[in-house]
Structures are given as C-alpha cells and as structure tokens.
Chain A
Amino acid sequence: MPASANELDFWANDINPGILSPLMILRAQEPALRKRTGGIVEAKVISQIASDVTKHQLILIAPAVDNYQETILAAQHNVRRVYPCQVESASFQEYEESVRGRLPPLAAMDTVQIAGTQAEFIRLLKLALNSKTVRTTIDALLAKSNELEAGINVDKSEPHAAEVSNS
C-alpha cells in the first residue's frame, strides 16, 4: 500500500511560513514606541549595506530635544540570509548567561549575541528593550522633552555650582 503524502513529510514541525525578518521585527518597534510615548520619543531603524552584510541600527529620537539621537541596538546579517543574525546591545551586560552547567557566579551576557531563528531574535530584542539601560534612556529623554515643553530650562547665565568651584 503506497504511503500518503503526509506520511512522507519529514520536515520539521515548527516551519513557519509567516516568519519575519529582523528588519520587519525592528520596524514594528517604531509605531509601538510612538504609541507608548505619544511621539515624545520615537524609534527608528536605520539600515545600510556594507559589502555582503546588511546592518540595522535601532535608534531613539527625541524631537523636542533638538532631534537628539541615540543608537540602542544593532543587528546585522548576510545580505542573502537574514538568519543567523548578530545582535549587539550594551544592555545585554545587565543579564547573566544562562549556560547550563556553569557554576556561580554567572558571567554577564556578552554584548554581542547570535540569533539563529526569529524566536531567538525576538527574545534578544525583548531583553534589550526591557533593560534598565534602555528604560533609563527613554525616561531621561521623556523627562527632558517634558521639561522643555513646559518651558523650564537651566538659566543659561548661571553656571552650575561645580563650575564656579575652585577648590
């Protein structure tokens, strides 16, 4: 009796036709942050191609602070293959490696990580965006923007105390 097509399907069960590229996932963060902050702090993805590597950088922009910009995460992959994708963020150092068998104290995660799949990329992105480093940056930019919006600024004619200290 001939085998059915299903019986002869030996491909992995988790193949997902709706898989997203790192760029698509990063771009989704742009409207998400705009919604969260009411546009006070924005996210933007800047991409460039250098030889056979595509590089994406996720930056924060504070339009009210004279368009101040800060890069918070970088991702790069081969031009023709979007995974594996190298993800780099200083914020990874806040987390400990969960390597099985490693004895305490656990080492801090390296700032450069490799995402072999969409799931791994999303996990790393979530770690970075929820890190203290990124949260602090967003809070600082929100606060500064709000301060400027309220018309409050340091009196430019008065130096800080530290500036006049000669001791």
Chain B
Amino acid sequence: MVKFLFWNLYGRQKRDRLQRSDALTASLTHLVKARQIDVLLFAECPVADQQIVAALNQGQAGTYYAPDSRSQRIRFFSRLPGRPWMDAYNDRVHNRMTAQKLHVGKHPGILIVGIHFPDRISLPTPEGRLSVAEDLAFWINRLEDEVKHRRTIAVGDFNMNPFEPGVIATKGFHGVMTKRLAETVNHRLSNRADYPCFYNPMWHCFGDSAPGPPGTYFLQNTLDTTNHFWNIYDQVLLRPDLMDSLRYLQILDSDGEATLVTKEGRPRKGSLSDHLPLFFELDI
C-alpha cells in the first residue's frame, strides 16, 4: 500500500510568515506520524526543502527525501526506499505540470502527474480553463504513449471542480464520476474513444455523506446567491488501469493531533493554508 498526500500550502499573506511556516511544518510532522505517508506533493509551498524534510523526519515515520525534480510549482517528498523516482517531464513555459515516473509496486510502476492549474482570477471563464486543461491533457497522453502504459494518476490543485468542463470534457482531463463509466466510455462511445478518460473519485467527497469536510476550498462569498461555498479544487484522478487500486480517499480536517479547520469547519487560511489536504492510498 502506498499512501499519498497532496496539499496546496498557500495561506493568507501575513506578516508573521515565520509563525505560519512553523505551524505548517508542525502539521506535516503530525500528518506523517499519524498517517504513515509515503509520498507527499505540495503546491505553493513557502518552506524550503530541507525544512520540510526535517519536519517530516521528526514524525519518525521513515527517512524522507526530496526526489530529483526540476519542477518549481509542485514539490515532491517521499520515504520510499531505493530512490524509485525519475523526473519525466516539466513544463517550463507555463510551469503548471510536472510528471515523475515512480517505480513502485507492479511493473512498470506508475506515472504521477502533478498539477497546479492557473488560478480562477487569471482564467475566469470555463472556456479559458478548458483550453489550458486541453493542453495539459495532451501532454499526459503523450507521456503515456512514450512510457507505453497508462498507470497514471493526476493529482493537484486543478482550480476547477470535478463538474467543470476542463475536468469532464473529452479533450480536457475527461474525468468521469464512476468506475463503470471509466470502464466503458472509451470503448462504447465513438466520440470519446480517442480521449483516454480518468476516473474521478472526488465526486464522492462532496457534501456531508463522505468522511471529512465537504470540500477542499471554501469560498466566502455571500453576495453571489449561486455560490455553493465548498469546492473540490484539489483532486486525484486515476486512469482505469489504476482505479481499482484506490483503497482510501479522504479530505483531511485534522493532522492527527491538531485540527486543520476553524471552529466553523473551514480551512485555517490565516495560520495554515486556504486549502485542505487530500489523502489517499493505492494498492499498487
């Protein structure tokens, strides 16, 4: 079982930056101790690699390191032995996507694509977000063609909900909400055949039925009467070849020792991050 955590660590820009950095590293120590995490990915990480590694090692869950990566936006950390990582791709033009080959589990391992999608102020329209999603999806397909397998997960801050065109469109990430759909859409629907789909398990996390908070990001906008407040911008998508290996998925509201949310149940954006972490386990 390989345990993953993704967290966008962006917080409100305050003067007490050091204090926030200390709070984040303490939380990371607690998280690896409580969850025994093998692989961590961070977006908008304000803390230096060495500090992160030290914080992770304080959790005494193993010896953590930062795999070789030329990515600037997504940072990887791992305790997996034998250095099974290989930097596969970086987009230095838009800086929004990175890919690592991870040689773990069954041959030939998996491809991990880290995404930090442009924010919704830079790309305010669904059409604009779809256009960028198409570019990223194109590269994922191309990399898969090169490595000759589709044992791929795409994880990160998509800055879109699972129901938005960029995530669901065939030429976008083509993320579908059930395993049954993921098994069939590429084979039975000719207009989807050329666009490999992802299974998007995040649909399950909306609202109160799933364990954990109702989303990863809370938008406090009381003026807009169509605002649904909770969003799931942070997602993990799995290709059909990997979807049955998903054993556990939860948006976390606790690091095992301290809460990650305010008393209203929202992300502690002042002292930690305005996003909540995503934790999942794969039996690969």
Contact = CB atoms under 8 A, between A and B. Distances in A.
Interface of A: 46, 48, 50, 55, 57, 65-74, 88-90, 111, 133, 137, 140, 154, 156, 159-160, 162-167
Contact of B88 (A68, A74, A154, A165): A68
A71 B142 CA distance: 13
B36 interface: no
Given A66-B88, A71-B90, A72-B93, A156 B50 contact: no
Contacts of A166: 54, 57-58
A68 B65 contact: no
B82 A71 contact: no
Interface residues of B, number: 32
A70 B63 contact: no
Interface in B12-71: 49-50, 53-54, 57-58, 63-66, 70
Contact of A165 (B53, B70, B86): B53
24 contacts: A50-B134, A50-B135, A65-B87, A66-B101, A68-B89, A69-B88, A69-B143, A70-B70, A70-B91, A72-B93, A73-B93, A74-B93, A74-B94, A88-B94, A90-B93, A140-B70, A156-B82, A156-B83, A159-B63, A162-B54, A162-B66, A165-B50, A165-B53, A166-B57
B65 A160 contact: yes
Nearest to A46: B142
The 8 A-B pairs of least Cβ separation, nearest first, read A163-B65, A162-B50, A156-B83, A71-B91, A74-B93, A69-B89, A70-B90, A66-B86
A89 B58 contact: no
Interface in B162-181: 171
Interface centre among B63, B70, B89, B93 (most CB of A within 10 A): B93
Given A50-B134, A140-B70, A166-B58, 5 more contacts: A50-B131, A67-B146, A68-B89, A70-B91, A163-B64
Interface string B238-261: 000000000000000000000000
B120 interface: no
B61 to A, nearest CB: 12
A74 B97 CA distance: 14
B92 interface: yes
B93 A71 contact: yes
Given A70-B70, A156-B83, A167 B92 contact: no
Contacts of B131: 50
A159 B54 CA distance: 13
B58 A70 contact: no
Interface string B104-115: 000000000000
B229 interface: no
B95 interface: yes
Contacts of B89: 68-71
B65 A57 contact: no
B54 A165 contact: yes
A160 B64 CA distance: 10
Nearest to B87: A68
A55 B88 contact: no
B258 to A, nearest CB: 20
Interface string B215-244: 000000000000000000000000000000
A163 B57 contact: yes
A1 to B, nearest CB: 59
A50 B89 CA distance: 22
A133 B64 CA distance: 29
Nearest to B58: A166
Contacts of A74: 93-94
Contacts of B143: 69
A71 B92 contact: yes
Contacts of A67: 88, 146
Given A46-B142, A66-B86, A163-B64, A72 B92 contact: yes
Nearest to B57: A166
Nearest to A144: B68
B50 A90 contact: no
